[in-house]
């Protein structure tokens, strides 16, 4: 299958070199698009000419949607810039897509702490039992399905959560790859106390979103907890 890897970036000069190094062996085997949301640092200038770069309005949903519109693949794979793929990522995506219209990678974090291992376990359990997948788990979907579901909702936060809810309403059950994606735990901060606080607040914000609090208000609260 033709796969387009879509990576939204914004001020990622500290991670972009590692991302390119990881993706370089995949050039020629799939389409790779970096979607910049108006970076004010050196991110765009650091991206090698061997990769395609497009511009978008800032916001992860806007960037991923623009990447999808600009791509050509039959399968759209949305990847965070600080995630690390297993070597056989493309093959595993193809395996899942033989029997599913959408899929994801199980997740593990770069930190070896017991707390982050527990967090990864709960994320994988949630995805497996409820079909709720977050962006750091590497969401991929059939191109037709992506546009059929209405793309990622253009909201300030929770776009991946709402996307999963929309897929579930359509009774689309995502499949999971054999290996896991490795993701940075930088958004959780340093130390177990901070990490627990962020985890609890993220759970609370998802609850408030389900109860009808606007995504704009959720985004403001999310910035506060970080």
Q: Is the pLDDT of residue 40 over 90?
A: yes
Q: Which CATH class is domain 3-186?
A: alpha beta
Q: Is the pLDDT of residue 225 over 70?
A: no
Q: What is the pLDDT of residue 222?
A: 77
Q: Is the pLDDT of residue 43 over 90?
A: yes
Give every CB contact of residue 218 below 8 A, 6+ residues apart in sequence.
156, 157, 158, 205, 208, 209
pLDDT digits (tens, 9 = 90+) for 75-84: 999 999 999 9
Residues 225 and 59: their CA atoms lie apart, in Å, by: 19
More confident residue, 1 or 34: 34
Q: Is the pLDDT of residue 226 over 50?
A: no
Average pLDDT, integer, range 34-39: 97
Name the token pair of 50.
């061997």
> Where do the domains of the chain lie?
3-186
Average pLDDT, integer, range 24-50: 96
Q: What is the pLDDT of residue 66?
A: 98
Average pLDDT, integer, range 9-24: 96
- Nearest Cα neighbor of 78 from 181, 6, 184 is 6
Containing H/E element for 92? helix 89-97
Say how many C-beta atoms besides its own lie within 10 A of residue 209's C-beta: 19
Mean pLDDT of the chain: 92
pLDDT digits (tens, 9 = 90+) for 51-67: 999 999 999 999 999 99
Q: What is the pLDDT of residue 224?
A: 47
More confident residue, 1 or 137: 137
Say how many C-beta atoms besides its own lie within 10 A of residue 144's C-beta: 10
| Range with the poorest average pLDDT among 123-127, 132-136, 138-142, 186-190 | 186-190
């Amino acid at each position: 299958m033709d796969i387009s890897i879509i990576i939204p970036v914004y001020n990622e000069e500290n991670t972009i070199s590692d991302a390119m190094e990881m993706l370089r062996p995949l050039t020629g085997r799939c389409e790779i698009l970096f979607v910049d949301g108006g970076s004010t640092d050196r991110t765009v200038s650091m991206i090698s000419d061997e990769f395609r770069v497009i511009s978008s309005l800032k916001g992860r949903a806007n960037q991923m949607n623009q990447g999808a519109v600009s791509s050509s693949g039959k399968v759209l794979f949305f990847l965070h810039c600080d995630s690390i793929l297993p070597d056989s990522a493309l093959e595993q995506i193809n395996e899942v897509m033989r029997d599913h219209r959408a899929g994801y990678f199980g997740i593990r974090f770069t930190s070896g702490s017991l707390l982050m291992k527990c967090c990864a376990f709960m994320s994988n359990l949630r995805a497996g039992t409820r079909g709720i997948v977050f962006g750091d788990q590497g969401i991929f979907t059939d191109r037709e399905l992506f546009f059929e579901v209405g793309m990622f909702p253009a909201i300030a936060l929770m776009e991946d959560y709402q996307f999963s809810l929309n897929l579930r309403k359509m009774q689309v059950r995502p499949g999971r790859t054999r290996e896991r994606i490795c993701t940075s735990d930088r958004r959780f901060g340093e130390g177990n106390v901070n990490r627990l606080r962020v985890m609890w607040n993220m759970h609370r914000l998802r609850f408030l979103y389900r109860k009808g609090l606007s995504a704009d208000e959720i985004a403001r609260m999310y910035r506060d907890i970080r």
